[in-house]
Every structure is written in structure tokens, then in C-alpha cells.
Amino acid sequence: MNKRILNLAVPNIVSNITVPLLGIVDLAMMGHLGSVDYIGAIALGGMIFNFLYWGFGFLRMGTSGFTAQAYGRRSFSDSIHTLARALIVAFIGAALLIILQFPIEKLTFWIIGGDEHVEELARSYFYIRIWAAPATIGLYALTGWFIGMQNTRFPLLIAILINTINIGFNVLFVYVFDMASDGVALGTLLAQYSGLILAVFLFKRYYGKLYKYFQFKQIQNLHLFRVFLSVNKDIFIRTFCIIIVFTFFTSSSAAANKHILAINTLLLQLFFIYSYFVDGFAYAAEALTGRFVGAQNKRSLKLAIKKLFYWGWGIAVIFSVAYGFGWRQIIGLMTNNEQLIADAANYAIWIGLVPLLAFASFLWDGIYIGATASVQMRNSMLLATGVVFFPTYFLLQNSLGNHALWIALLGFLLVRGVAQYIMAGKAVYKKVP
């Protein structure tokens, strides 16, 4: 079982870790341009697209769960129709974002507030990157489908291509054409479409034989579409809660001042490095849980979950120690602003605790997605958001300031994992008699 887990997890870890590494490269370029305004622009622009694109993260997760269960049943017809439904939703959603980009921009910056120059830079970033919507959201559907088919090599290849091209274009636009944050947005746009082209090529080259199972009447089957959308609706609500939490985290940082915004943005990169790393095991959990639920194999399901948590705990300890002793060196790669680094020391303790308190929530997410236990996953997220995160922040804000944001975030991550553990008997294990 360990070999199965690693065969699925390692390619996902490699592909996932390129995402925060790209963020570090972007921040490093902005952090060495001589003004914290560029870091703030990337933070606000990234926050907006986290809000918009993470909202469609349900497509990757829902597609992965349904596809993995179809794979366990050896139903290639269900598999190909799951992908078709996901792509339809993806491109309708992307079209709406592009059509509504102007009211989205006005509403977003009216809500956020913050430094005027930082907002001006972030607006320019927004109007470039929004055109990547079809590629970005379409890749969610294709990546989820590949993972559900127990294929983690293709998402790895796609991620490597996207991030290599992205870094190359960013360097070109920022250092050759002096475009600053606009260059980062344009590099992301071109990289996303490059990834979509590769994903479509890989699908046609290696899965083209599945076309024979496709029937248009299956797409017109409203009952099956409702089932797909019902599960994805719950995953959307779950994802929306995450978006709300991190959007609030960033907007509250911006409201404090642009110095706090820059500090929190830099520290969050360490959180994202860890989260994308442990997500490799969460993706393995999606694939294996879905496969064993589809095959009705309870013994293998229990064994997989047990082994996954062994790996999760070990990785959490390693990251916690690394962050406890090495956070200053990592942040030093992203900025040469000594004042920022010195002030970040006041909050570095919280980032050292993140891996230990968060790993269970990441793994349970993958397990619940594979089992398509979307209702319980949604409920645990609503609990952590509404009962823990916001009350904790508002109770501590006046006395602890920016520390209150970090304490609220850690409480949010911890309660999610605990709630999912309590609900797992009904949500996951009872799916297999």
C-alpha cells in the first residue's frame, strides 16, 4: 500500500510544489524592485484570482472523485461522461467571468480598500490575467480526471510545463521589458494556455480510445447532471469557505497597512509550500479512496487511510522543524528588505505550527472527495469558518492585532480536521459494506 500511495503522491507533490515555488519567484522579482507596493499588488491580484478560480476548484475535486469510483467499477462510459460534464461547466463558468470582468473588478476593489497605488497596480494585473480563465478552469477539470484515472504523471508534466514557461515569461517581461506586476500577469496568462494545449494533447494521444464510449444522450441526462452538480455544489460551498477565509486574511492585512500586508504575504508563501506538498498525499487519498469505494473493498480502504496518516504526520513534523529554524532564510530569498524580515519574526511562530495543526484536514479532504462525501465535508468547513475562524478573530483583534489573524487561521485548520475525523464513520467507511 505504501508503494501505491507514493506512486500517486510523489508526482503530485512535484507538480504541486511548483505552484508556491512560482509564487516565491514572483515575489522575489517584485521584492527586489525597491518598493513593497509591487508585493502588495501581487498579493491583492493573487487574492482576487484565488477567490475567482478556487471557486471552481470543485471541478477538479468532484471530477476526481466520480472518475476514481468509475475506475474502480471499470466503467469507462461513466468516466468519459464525467469529464464531458466537467468541461461543460468549466467553459460556461470561464465565459461568465470574462463577460462580467468589469463589475467583478469594481465590486472587488470597493470591498478590499487599501493603498491607492497598490490598488492601481493590482487592477492592471487583474485585467490581464482574467483572460486566462478558460485555460485555468478547463485545466481543473482535466487534472481532476487524470487523477481519478490513477494517472498522476500527466498533471506533473502539465505543471512543470506551465511553471517553467511562466517563470521564463515573467523574467522576460519584468527584467527585459520593465513591466513589473503586469509582466507577472501576462506570463501567467501565456503559461496557462500552454498547459491547456498540452493537457488536450495528452488526453487525445493516450485516452482517445475512450471516445467510443461517449454518447451525447448521456450528457443530456438531467438526472446524472444533477447528481454531478449536487456533489460539486457542496464542494463549491466548502471551497467558497476557504476563499472567504483567505480573502478576509489578505484584505484584513491590507486594511492594517501595506507593511503588514507584505509580511503576511511572505509568511503565507511558507503555508502554501507546505499545503501544496501535503496535497500530493491528499490527491493520492482521492484516487485510492475513490477506487476502493468503487470496488467495494473495505479492507484496502482502511489500510490506505491508515498509511496516509502515517505519511501525513511524518511530513508535518519535518516541515514544522524546518520552518521553526529556517523561516528567515526562506523569506530572505523573496525579499532583501531587512525591515520586513525583522518584523516578520514577530509572527513566525504561527507558521511553524501550521503543519502540525493542518495536516489532518488536508488528508481528510482527499478521503472525503474520493468517497464523494461532499455533505459532511461541507458541514465541517461551515463549522470551522462560522464558529471558529471569524469569532476567534473578532474576539482577539483589539488585543492581539495581526496575531489574531494567525490564531484564527490555525483554529480554522485544526477544527476542520477534528470534525472530519468525527464524521468519517458515516461519511466514508459506511460507503463500503
Q: What is the pLDDT of residues 48-93, one digit of tens each?
A: 776 777 767 778 777 888 898 888 888 888 889 999 999 998 999 9
Q: Which of 238, 236, 241 is nearest to 385 (CA)?
A: 241
* For range 412-430, the mean pLDDT: 92
CA gap 297, 304 in Å, rounded: 11
CA gap 30, 181 in Å, rounded: 7
403 within 8 A of 252, measured Cβ to Cβ: no
* For range 244-248, the mean pLDDT: 86
Q: Which of 409, 308, 311, 320 is nearest to 356 (CA)?
A: 320
41 confidence band (pLDDT: 50, 70, 90): low
CA gap 145, 82 in Å, rounded: 8
Distances from the Cα of 14 to the Cα of 173, 315, 330, 385, angstroms: 26, 15, 19, 30
User: At residue 255, does pLDDT exceed 90?
Assistant: no
238 confidence band (pLDDT: 50, 70, 90): confident
Q: What are phi and psi of 28, to 5 degrees?
A: -65, -40
User: At residue 262, does pLDDT exceed 90?
Assistant: no
* For range 356-378, the mean pLDDT: 90
- Which single residue is written with the C-alpha cell 525591515? 339
Tell me what pLDDT residue 80 has.
Answer: 92
pTM of the model: 0.73
Q: Read off the C-alpha cell for 404.
A: 489574531
Q: Which of 414, 393, 412, 413 is nearest to 403 (CA)?
A: 393
pLDDT digits (tens, 9 = 90+) for 104-121: 888 877 766 656 666 777
User: At residue 388, does pLDDT exceed 90?
Assistant: yes
Share of the chain above pLDDT 70, in %: 88
Q: Which of 289, 238, 282 is nearest to 67 (CA)?
A: 289
Q: Which of 44, 47, 46, 89 is nearest to 66 (CA)?
A: 89
Q: Read off the C-alpha cell for 261.
A: 500586508
Number of other CB atoms surrounding residue 220 within 10 Å = 9
DSSP 245-272: HHHHHHHHHHHH-HHHHHHHHHHHHHHH
CA gap 141, 91 in Å, rounded: 10
pLDDT digits (tens, 9 = 90+) for 288-326: 998 898 888 888 999 999 999 999 999 999 999 999 888
Cβ-Cβ contacts under 8 Å for 74 (sequence gap 6 or more): none
343 confidence band (pLDDT: 50, 70, 90): confident
Q: Which of 325, 29, 380, 56 is nearest to 176 (CA)?
A: 29
CA gap 168, 183 in Å, rounded: 11
CA gap 135, 91 in Å, rounded: 9
Where are the domains positioned within the chain? 2-431
